Amino acid sequence: MNSQIRSYTPFVGPFDPCPPLLCKTYVVPPNQFICFQPSDWPQFSLPEALRRGTLWPALYSPYTARQSQGGSA
C-alpha cells in the first residue's frame, strides 16, 4: 500500500443522474510532511534524478495514469 494515496467515500444522493463512485482516491505529496530539508539527505544519481523528477528519494512521488473508461476523447 502506498502511503501517499488516500481514499474517501463521497456522498451519494438519491437523485444523482449518474452511477455513483463509491470510493475516490487522491495523492498527498510527500513535501507536505517534511518540515525542513536536512543537509545530509541521500540523493539519486543525476541520470536517475532526471528520470524521476527530483534529486531526493524522500520527495519522489510516482505517477500512475488512470485507465480510460470510455472511448477516445
Residue 70 lies in a domain: no
Does residue 30 lie within any of the structural domains?
yes
Q: For residue 70, what pLDDT is reported?
A: 52
- Domain of residue 42 covers 5-59
The residue assigned the cell 470510455 is 70
Is 67 within a domain?
no
User: 23 in a domain, yes or no?
Assistant: yes
**CB-CB contact of 11 with 22 (8 Å):** no
Q: Residue 68 domain-assigned?
A: no
Helix (H) or strand (E) holding 6: strand 5-8
Cell numbers representing residue 57 in the block: 528519494
If one counts the domains in the chain, the total is 1
Residue 11 lies in a domain: yes
Provide the whole-model pTM.
Answer: 0.58
pLDDT in tens, 14-73: 998 999 889 998 888 888 888 887 888 899 999 999 999 999 988 888 877 766 555 444
Q: What pLDDT sits at residue 3?
A: 80
Q: Is 19 part of any domain?
A: yes
